[in-house]
Structure 1
Amino acid sequence: MTATDTRPAHRRAATDSPLPAPNGSALRDLLMGVRFALTGGREAWVRTVLTAVGVGLGVSVLLLASSVPGAMDRRDVRNEARSEFNHAVDGGRPTDRSLLVRAADTTFRDMEVRGRLLKPEGPRAPLPPGLDAFPAHGEMAVSPALRELLDSDGTKLLPGRIPYEITATVGTEGLSGPGELVFYAGHDRLNTDGGAGHAMRIDGFGTQATADPLDPVLMLLVLIILVVLLMPVAVFVAASVRFGGERRDRRLAALRLVGADARMTRRVAAGEAVAGSLLGLAVGAVMFFLGRQLANVMTIEQVSVFPEDLAPGPLLAALVVLAVPLASVAVTLLALRGVVIEPLGVVRTARPRRRRLLWRLLPLIGGVALLAPLIAQGTADYFNTYVVVCGAVLLLLGVTSLLPWVVESVVGRLGGGPVSWQLAVRRLQLSGGAAAQAMNGVAVAVAGAVALQMLFAGVDNDYVQVAEKDLRRAEMDVRTPRSVPPAEVREALAGLPGVRFASAIGTGLVTPRPAADGENPMELAVGDCATLRKVADLPSCRDGDVFRLLSDRQASNAPRKHAEPHATLYVDAGGAGAAAADTRWRLPAEVKDARPLPDPVGYERDGLLATPGAFPEERTRQLGGQVFVGVDEGVPDARDRVRTTVAALSPFHQTSDHYGVAVNDQFADVRKGLFVGATCVLLLIGASLLVSQVERLRERKKLLASLVAFGTRRRTLVWSVLWQTAIPVVLALVLALGVGLLLGTVLLFVVQTTPAVPWAVVGAMTGVAGLVVLLVTALTMPVLLRLMRPEGLRTE
């Protein structure tokens, strides 16, 4: 006789279930969660894949961030290995181990080109890193990026500046990065006699120079940049772990129905989170190793690195591998605290209890409390940088804790309006927390960016100085070596498109005797009256005049003592090949006094000024020279035309650009690093938001399909989704702007700088963040339209 089980159906299901007893092993529960994530059907693995993609994007950025210090160190090592300045042979003779080197750097359309002219003086001359052999005279080795630039269309002005035949390629060890523009050219006219072709004699390459330490304010800038760039990444990783939370909670409720207790459901949820995060680690590693190959073709702010340079440090990589799964479990368990999962369903589907404000203000209060004692410290040179960083972190965390309350409070008071508006508002009233979580990363990024821009603007005056160069009198200048009359350069530039004027002035030294005998020589400048008026206040001027420059800042009284009428002076010919020639110069019967003025490059001369009629023409080749050039910036490539024209006359001319400001190198490097990092984080924000929006739409596909089936117009639903994005975006940006202004003001007080807000930059950044979110929303429209089809009503 067969026994019949008379127990109720739900008790039989609980007993016969393959689930372990409520007091079963925690490890078994975790593994069960892993199995649910990987083998729980289409819905489960789609959610797991989306979680893995979201986590993977964050992990790839974290791995990239942990690789940057090592990549910069490797760049510095290669830069130091090719440096020649620590191996100069002063006063030496040519040997079998010596090499003549002359810098031939240039600029093409704001791109720096590093060039060196080489002449080996012996069979064992040191070879620059990256070269297999010295290029012969008229030949050059170029970097791959420079070869590509020379071969591209629209660069006709550059080959005329470096007119050498390409015979070799500079290897990796000779380049700071794949995008660097470098050439080494052979030139047999290099010498050490001080004239045209003057070069430096060296016997090796490489240096162990150490970088200057950052001052406290720059160090603070660097650390705040790291916080601002990495916190949005962490927020996005945490948000990615919570993808599909509503479906997960319904599955957990089903587990409760077949006998699992509350602790077991939490362990199963933790197992699902671990599975998604571990898969995300794998996806992130693959993204990182594939994405770093783009380093070969990416140059940001003239900074490029080789793919092999981007290798995470072992400790930092281990920290990422451990932190991501632990954080995913912590976020999952924290999310379940506000959810009651019972056998009959999930209580969260009812209207949630209003969020409390008090504890959400604690991070903001804690951040201000940490920073407040530093505000009255009285000096920007001594403050605890790490306390400042902790305070900044707490203030930015305050954005993430406060945003859900702000969204809930605002949307709870909204109502009325078109159907699309009412659908959006009602959805936000029921699940505003999910919308706020999606915007948390954007809010943190904007708040940090606002604070950073305020800090940059506040300390700008300490690192960006107004240059002494007068851009009204010249935008460029050209220095010519001895034996090359500057008048030749002036004539070549005259009438060139984009050149307003070119003023030439010869420069050199004169002494009262053929040999100076330790006496200070006098400076000499030769030019026409119009040019001399650029460097001195002349009483009157006509061709044939000579002037003594007298001022309180004068280096010596030599002009007053030796520059008398009819006096004989001697031009210091240096090594210009005129040492045996007559260098005498007889002054005219009248020598006028004049007061010096800063010239267009900011230099104030002393010594003598002479017009061409007073200085023998045969002596001009014993002088060097300088040409001041006025450029019309409205003419395309005007500066490049000047550089190319000058280089065609001689490769030994030095062309310089004048700009209105001079930026501290370390400050420029920090700002450049911020630009590179912000670009990467902006890409992460866009990609992560896209994944998040797709997941949120996927969770509502049955609802969307049902509304369409009951006659709701598709246009109404599209506008509803747009409103559901726009409202949290506006609230997130307003909150981020407020917290960013607060953090920026506090940081400026810490470094003892008067707070000021660069509203134009702040407005631009806020607008860009809003546009990124709206663009991502627009990209999800095809997914939204597909989910409205009748197939969306199908269920498993």
Structure 2
Amino acid sequence: MRSAVFRQWYRDLAMGVRFAFTGGREGWVRAALTAVGVGLGVALLLLTAAVPNALSTRGAREEARQDRGIGYLEDNIRSKPTDRSLLVADTDTEYRHREIRGRLLEPEGEHAPPPPGLDEFPAPGEMIVSPALAELLKSDAGKLLRDRLPYETAGTIGEAGLIGSGELAYYAGAEGLAQRIDGSVVARIDRFGATEQPADEEMDPILLLLVLVVFVVLLMPVAVFIAAAVRFGGERRDRRLAALRLVGSDGRMTRRIAAGEALAGAVLGLVFGTGFFLLGRQIAGSVEVFDVSVFPSYLDPSPGLALLVAFAVPAAAVLVTLFALRGVVIEPLGVVRTARPARRRLWWRLLLPLGGLALLYPMVGQGSENGEFNEYLVTGGVVLLLVGVTALLPWVVEAFVARLGSGPLSWQLAVRRLQLSSGPAARMVNGIAVAVAGAIALQMLFDGVEGRFTQSTGKDTARTQLELSMPDDLPVSAVSQELKRAKGAEAAAALSDAELSATAKDPEEWVRVTVGDCAALRELAKISSCRDGDVFTLGASEDPVTAKLMTAGNTLYFDASYSGDERGAEIAWKLPDALRKVSARADTLRPGTGGLLATPSALPAKAEDQLSTTVYVRADPRVPDALDEVRNAAVAIDPLIRTWEWESTTRADEFTDIRTGLLVGASAVLVLIGASLLVSQLEQLRERRKLLSALVAFGTRRRTLGLSVLWQTAVPITLGLALAMTVGVTLGAVLLRMTNVEVSVGWSGVLSMTGIGAGVVVLVTALSMPPLMRMMRPEGLRTE
């Protein structure tokens, strides 16, 4: 019995497959449109399935080229040259807010290993660059950068040494780095690669919630579009099925044949999707989105996920087709769908979003203090709420258009079409509505929890924009003067630091001294009068130990010695008899600075060698690319000078990575939405080609028909976006309550997400106008 049922299903499905490919031009066009629609969704699913491998490959490449290790400070200061050792200096920089990874290399042994991506070391004065950096240096936009990298390009870094095709990186040859090993910038190593695996840190539950919601929100529109694509040409298909009833097939057989047609389109869509994916993978190698780039080889879906897509898409096509035909009565003389359909029921459609809220409700108020969120409840709840959009929208469109009345001829044509068949219009809008609803919810969630992962640096970016860390062997005064004269620098303040101890050997008490000229010290404290040779105390009353050490006439020591360690400089400094107390500025350049403030001539001889110096530069707003001009001046002084651009706030790396991933994924989904909407629009116009041609033949103006098509798109889109805003705000509010954050709606963000969705629809509608004009020609009445 079971074998007979199986054979019957097989024969019916096979017949449907044959109809899909042997039904003449109409059958081929429908199969091609279905395959394109499904293929776009399959391509994005395969891209999503490739994300884990891309992330792991990028991480492995990053670890393989690491030139730092645990115990780096002490190990490198005491290390000795070997047959495999090489010296590496960190010269990372930025150019027009783009990060550039830079290293100076000096091999010491014959068997010193080159970094990944290099076959040999560059000679002094030469550099090996990434392809993206080579392209930038050759362009007009790279003129300033060419001045900063005064090396001759001798080759390009291989893929094994880069984490992305758009990464800017270089390795340059150097000499004399051994004398500059300082435990922070210059190191001696004997291999590349992380010495120890970093300890796995538990991710904040809120970040895990963000990841889950991001994946669901990005993949739901894909599923909706695939479900809509397998229903392309539904009305023509149902008329063919009525002909099958006329020659003797029963209702169940016709449904299985229809499922076979959908299965053929889905399988062809898998082929198209694979082609789209391979094409997109090659394009991805030359595209950088939000400063993220990959190599095509990174985008390699895992076999398990690829097989899941290969089986899930055809199975979904069959199920969606059978579900769609549940309310269609196919009789030998026609399809009952052509009569006025029964009104859609609302009650079961409300169960979906209510069920989603019921799944999410137990986690309301959990925050990050009560453990991880239940991933199954989160996924199920978000999916049900977004699927609720697709279930409610047909009912909303039908209920709304049923109440529309008279108007211009174009309006009447559009309204009558929607009243007779609102389902296809709602299906076309479903994907964009789901995407907008999810985007609004994510926008609210990100805005709500951003403060948790954002901290103020306490830095006033209006006073200083660039911080430069000087190598210890540079003369502070000379460097400071050169940077003050640099193009792009409006002002510069050099501040040096050192630790002073109470005893020359084995000290247990310390105080910090900050050294700078009077102008620089005034950036830290309120100083009325100042001249070279003065010493001040800052915050002396806050710490008894510091107050005791900062006593006039007391003797303190630079670079004290420790038992069993190398002897220090032990430079004694007797504090002057006059120490003036000052208070910190409210907008101090260094929040939390305390101890001694001293001008240069107040220090003992040779004390300058014990200072670590930082220069703070305020850029001249009148100079274009002022920050890069200052960086160029710093590199001209010494390539080991490190620079950092000030920011008023910092965000957690994980939060930033998730937001970047969302933006990249949303860009891909947005492209899919536009392409799928265009295919869906063209399919609907193709279905109405003869009707449009007949209306034109009877004298209807093309302008009237064009406006009617616009109205048929505008009404469902407006209703869909309104519903998306409602569901999106609701979902966002629930997610915020789950994270124990006060609910607030950023209406600017909500409206911007809605506007982006509307903009995509307007663009797609404009692109569909030329085909519409062609379909209105009298030739459209011709039939085979």
- TM-score of the two chains, using structure 1 as the length reference: 0.92
- Provide the secondary structure at the position in 1 that maps to 2:148: coil
Distance 1:602 1:546 in 2: 18
Letter in 1 for 2:12: D
CA deviations over 1:712-764 (Å, ceiling 9, x no partner): 11111111111111111110000000000111111111111111112111111
Residue 696 (structure 1) aligned with residue 679 (structure 2): no
Letter in 2 for 1:433: G
1:37 aligns with one of 5, 11, 20? 20
CA drift of 1:559 comes to 6.3
Letter in 2 for 1:755: V
- Provide the secondary structure at the position in 1 that maps to 2:144: coil
Distance 1:115 1:740 in 2: 44
CA gap of 1:158–1:563, structure 2 versus 1, over 3 A, is farther
Distance 1:412 1:557 in 2: 83
2:490 aligns with one of 494, 500, 509? 500
Q: How does 1:312-711 map to 2 (within 5 A)?
A: 312-375=301-364, 380-382=369-371, 383-494=373-484, 496=486, 498-511=488-501, 515-538=504-527, 540-551=529-540, 554=543, 557=545, 560-561=548-549, 564-565=552-553, 570-572=557-559, 585=573, 587-596=575-584, 602-615=590-603, 619-620=607-608, 622-632=610-620, 635-711=623-699
Letter in 1 for 2:768: T
2:298 aligns with one of 275, 284, 309? 309
CA drift of 1:773 comes to 0.6
Tell me whether 658-667 or 201-210 shows the greater mean CA deviation: 201-210
What's the counterpart of residue 123 of structure 2?
Answer: 136
Tell me whether 490-499 or 719-728 shows the greater mean CA deviation: 490-499
What's the counterpart of residue 564 of structure 2?
Answer: none
Distance 2:276 2:167 in 1: 25
Distance 2:552 2:218 in 1: 67
8 Å Cα contact 2:206/2:368 also seen in 1: no
What's the counterpart of residue 757 of structure 1?
Answer: 745
The RMSD of aligned alpha carbons is 2.5
Letter in 2 for 1:757: V
What's the counterpart of residue 65 of structure 1?
Answer: 48
Tell me whether 83-92 or 459-468 shows the greater mean CA deviation: 83-92
Q: Structure 1 stretches of 5 or more lacking a match?
A: 1-20
What's the counterpart of residue 237 of structure 2?
Answer: 248
CA gap of 1:212–1:161, structure 2 versus 1, over 3 A, is farther
Distance 1:782 1:84 in 2: 58
What's the counterpart of residue 34 of structure 2?
Answer: 51
Letter in 2 for 1:143: S
- Provide the secondary structure at the position in 2 that maps to 1:124: coil
- Provide the secondary structure at the position in 2 that maps to 1:593: strand
CA gap of 1:452–1:285, structure 2 versus 1, over 3 A, is same
Distance 2:201 2:394 in 1: 45
- Provide the secondary structure at the position in 1 that maps to 2:69: helix
Letter in 1 for 2:412: Q
Distance 1:544 1:753 in 2: 54
Tell me whether 447-456 or 129-138 shows the greater mean CA deviation: 129-138
Letter in 2 for 1:446: V
- Provide the secondary structure at the position in 2 that maps to 1:337: helix
CA drift of 1:84 comes to 2.0
Residue 226 (structure 1) aligned with residue 215 (structure 2): yes
CA deviations over 1:570-613 (Å, ceiling 9, x no partner): 54499xxxx99995655444222334568856442333211234
- Provide the secondary structure at the position in 2 that maps to 1:242: coil
Letter in 1 for 2:66: S
- Provide the secondary structure at the position in 2 that maps to 1:62: helix
CA drift of 1:61 comes to 0.4
Distance 1:113 1:24 in 2: 63
Aligned residues: 769
8 Å Cα contact 2:537/2:550 also seen in 1: no
| Identity percentage of aligned residues | 56
Tell me whether 273-282 or 195-204 shows the greater mean CA deviation: 195-204
Distance 2:590 2:575 in 1: 28
8 Å Cα contact 2:41/2:273 also seen in 1: yes
Q: How does 1:205-220 map to 2 (within 5 A)?
A: 205-207=192-194, 208-220=197-209
What's the counterpart of residue 264 of structure 2?
Answer: 275
Letter in 2 for 1:304: S
CA drift of 1:466 comes to 1.8
CA deviations over 1:173-219 (Å, ceiling 9, x no partner): 11111111111112213136566996122222212325533221111
Distance 1:552 1:62 in 2: 64
8 Å Cα contact 1:63/1:320 also seen in 2: yes
Q: How does 1:779-790 map to 2 (within 5 A)?
A: 779-790=767-778
Tell me whether 243-252 or 262-271 shows the greater mean CA deviation: 262-271
Distance 1:774 1:77 in 2: 43
Distance 1:424 1:488 in 2: 78
- Provide the secondary structure at the position in 2 that maps to 1:159: helix
1:77 aligns with one of 44, 56, 60? 60
Distance 1:379 1:525 in 2: 41
CA gap of 1:357–1:118, structure 2 versus 1, over 3 A, is same
CA drift of 1:562 comes to 6.1
What's the counterpart of residue 135 of structure 2?
Answer: 148
CA deviations over 1:617-669 (Å, ceiling 9, x no partner): 87545533221112255754222112111111111111111111100001011
CA gap of 1:602–1:671, structure 2 versus 1, over 3 A, is farther
CA drift of 1:139 comes to 1.7
Distance 1:156 1:770 in 2: 41
Letter in 2 for 1:472: A
8 Å Cα contact 2:356/2:381 also seen in 1: yes
CA drift of 1:511 comes to 4.7
- TM-score of the two chains, using structure 2 as the length reference: 0.93
Distance 1:624 1:466 in 2: 25
- Provide the secondary structure at the position in 2 that maps to 1:46: helix
CA gap of 1:350–1:305, structure 2 versus 1, over 3 A, is same
Distance 1:293 1:130 in 2: 21
What's the counterpart of residue 721 of structure 1?
Answer: 709
8 Å Cα contact 1:419/1:716 also seen in 2: yes
8 Å Cα contact 1:296/1:306 also seen in 2: yes
CA drift of 1:500 comes to 3.1
What's the counterpart of residue 285 of structure 1?
Answer: 274
Tell me whether 607-616 or 656-665 shows the greater mean CA deviation: 607-616
Tell me whether 232-241 or 483-492 shows the greater mean CA deviation: 483-492
8 Å Cα contact 2:497/2:512 also seen in 1: yes
Distance 2:295 2:560 in 1: 48
Letter in 2 for 1:74: T
